[in-house]
Structure 1
Amino acid sequence: MAPIVLFTYKRPEALARTIEALQRNEGARESVLYVFSDGARAAQDAAAVAEVRAYLRGISGFRQIFIKEAPTNKGLAASVIDGVTEVIREHGRVIVLEDDLVTAPNFLAFMNAALDAYAGDPRVFSVSGYTLPVRAAGDVYFTQRASSWGWATWADRWSSVDWAVEDYAQFSRDALARRRFNRIGSDLSDSLRKQMEGRIHSWAIRWVYNQFKQDKLSVFPTLSKVINIGFDGGATHTRRGQAGRFSTELDRGGALSWNFTEPTLDPSTVKQFAAYYSLPVRLKYKLIQWLPS
């Protein structure tokens, strides 16, 4: 079983739902859980961080639990990069969650099965537990864009990433490369630019950019094993307007075996997937974000 790596900050209620769902997973009691608790960014966050840490000390239901409490605030991007690097160095593979993700009872089974199925296939960059409500044949499908909502990968893929994005100056001058990058989402080149300008701090955009550079695929379930419950005022990187855009049904079927097909791109599925990141759809939900609740 791959270790589970969970990142948390200051939302004890959402964290409790995440943990409780994980505890109900097939394979939880055989899994090692690492929890990385970030330090308070501001004085007003200290009480919530302390509440999170008090809750974590009482959890059970896993083979082993390691709680890592950062003494100061690192931010999500640095926490994920450092935490995943630490755990994957020891275990060779990881399953990663944040504290606003509720999983289906077969999430761990799916992630571990996919990790086993594609471990020896370098074409597959990552495994996603979350999926958009696209129509796809079979148990899984593939895209060129990883998801950060319940995902997994292997040490060789993780170590291949250039987190500094050393070739960004060249990429920023290459209009064709930017258009190619944006084929799987009109937001990508702009998000990478903001990251490099220091306007956002995102590990995920750098992860997806490195996937693009290496021409790799991510595997998704056709039935989502994850839903995001983090669309509220306490969320760090999600907003209310995104809730409808990324809403999906959680898998309730309970399957514990899947047919893992050859990694190929189905044009119809990729078109459906990319549509959720198209400019018209993004503008629609940005408007919803600013409407009165």
Structure 2
Amino acid sequence: MQIFAPIALFVYNRPKHTERTLKFLKQNELAAETRLFIFSDGAKTPEEEENVMEVRALLKHADGFKSVEIIERKENMGLAESVIAGVTRLVRDYKQVIVFEDDLVSSPYTLTYFNDALNRYRKEEKVMHIGAYMYHLKENKLPESFFYRAATSWGWATWERAWDHFEPDIDKLMKGFDAKKRAGFSIDHQMNFWKQMKDFKKGKNNSWAIRWYASIFLKGGLTLNPSQSLVNNIGHDGTGVHSGINDIYNVIINPKPIKVFPKVIAEDKEAYEAIKGFLSTRKGSFVERVKRYLKEMRLFR
């Protein structure tokens, strides 16, 4: 009998986003078979208390799942510590977990994809992370799913055996990199992953995700990804903790289930090049970047 992975949903102070995330999760074909654990972080300031309470009020009406458990934090843990604690708890209890934050809309087949992949690669030590998001890749002739090195944090899943390798200590992680590894880690310098590591060390960010990716990379692990995204992030409207206002990463969600999974446990070279190409041109021309900057300034006035 198949045991479906539980969902860890992390929410904070965005009731409208949370409501949409729950709505789309509930429409998944495996929702009724899935246990949902909602981790609600405490307010950071008195000004945020009202929105936190509004989120918690709507959580009381969450239904459509096998079970719903709401964990309300009295204090503000922050997203990183909340995710680490929640994931650690669920992989300990269920040996696997599906992770969502409060700004993701999903396909009706997203949970199916996660569970199929979790079952398929359960004993493959090299496979450490299953991602549901993928950039909008032009001329996409890639297989339905493929292996890649970097871990996306917008809807993902893992097993206890992989999460056991998560290293939260940034100094230990950074000691594992030389110049060659830094280049490979940053997709041939097309993505600022190494800068994110340095910024974490300086206290400029508190990302759990960059430490998780670094842990996977140093272990020689791989991540499974769909060639067409199964989730879209609706948090790039200035409301997120770590996200600004832009549409670079907006995608059209794949309306079909993923049926084909890679048999060879190795990074897909064509996928790597396609992603590297996207990353190298993602910000557009100078004129396009100026237009985007002006748009952001107007919205923040």
TM range (shorter): over 0.9
AA aligned opposite 1:177: K
1:177 aligns to 2:194 (yes or no): no
Partner of 2:48: 45
Task: After TM superposition, give the deviation of residue 280 of structure 1 in Å.
Answer: 7.2
AA aligned opposite 2:182: R
Residues of 1 paired with 2:84 and 2:291: CA distance?
32
Partner of 1:108: 111
Partner of 1:271: 273
- Choose 154-163 or 127-136, whichever is displaced more: 127-136
Task: After TM superposition, give the deviation of residue 122 of structure 1 in Å.
Answer: 1.1
Gaps of 5+ in 1: none
Contact 1:187 1:277 in 2 (8 A): no
Task: After TM superposition, give the deviation of residue 67 of structure 1 in Å.
Answer: 0.3
Flag the 1:68–1:280 CA change in 2: closer, same or farther, 3 A.
closer
Contact 1:136 1:269 in 2 (8 A): no
Residues of 2 paired with 1:81 and 1:275: CA distance?
32
State which of 276, 281, 284 in structure 1 corresponds to 2:283.
281
- Choose 152-161 or 126-135, whichever is displaced more: 126-135
Tell me the TM-score normalised to structure 2 length.
0.90
Partner of 1:226: 231
Residues of 1 paired with 2:28 and 2:106: CA distance?
8
Residues of 1 paired with 2:195 and 2:176: CA distance?
12
Task: After TM superposition, give the deviation of residue 288 of structure 1 in Å.
Answer: 5.1
1:84 aligns to 2:84 (yes or no): no
Gaps of 5+ in 2: none
3-state DSSP of counterpart to 2:170: coil
Partner of 1:210: 215
Partner of 1:62: 65
Residues of 2 paired with 1:270 and 1:158: CA distance?
24
Partner of 1:3: 6
3-state DSSP of counterpart to 1:281: coil
In the TM superposition, what whole-angstrom CA distance separates every residue of 1:167-206 from its partner, at most 9, and x where no partner exists?
345357x333322322264301110011112110000000
Task: After TM superposition, give the deviation of residue 70 of structure 1 in Å.
Answer: 0.6
Contact 2:176 2:218 in 1 (8 A): no
Task: After TM superposition, give the deviation of residue 256 of structure 1 in Å.
Answer: 6.3
Residues of 2 paired with 1:10 and 1:126: CA distance?
27
In the TM superposition, what whole-angstrom CA distance separates every residue of 1:122-159 from its partner, at most 9, and x where no partner exists?
11110011111232432211110011000000001101
Flag the 1:183–1:282 CA change in 2: closer, same or farther, 3 A.
farther
Contact 2:29 2:112 in 1 (8 A): yes
1:74 aligns to 2:77 (yes or no): yes
In the TM superposition, what whole-angstrom CA distance separates every residue of 1:103-138 from its partner, at most 9, and x where no partner exists?
000010011001111111111110011111232432
Aligned counterparts, 1:27-38, within 5 A: 27-38=30-41
1:191 aligns to 2:196 (yes or no): yes
Q: Percent identity?
A: 32
Flag the 1:160–1:287 CA change in 2: closer, same or farther, 3 A.
farther
Flag the 1:216–1:283 CA change in 2: closer, same or farther, 3 A.
farther
Flag the 1:227–1:159 CA change in 2: closer, same or farther, 3 A.
same
AA aligned opposite 2:268: D
3-state DSSP of counterpart to 1:204: helix
3-state DSSP of counterpart to 2:275: helix
Tell me the TM-score normalised to structure 1 length.
0.92
State which of 12, 16, 24 in structure 2 corresponds to 1:13.
16
Contact 1:36 1:79 in 2 (8 A): yes
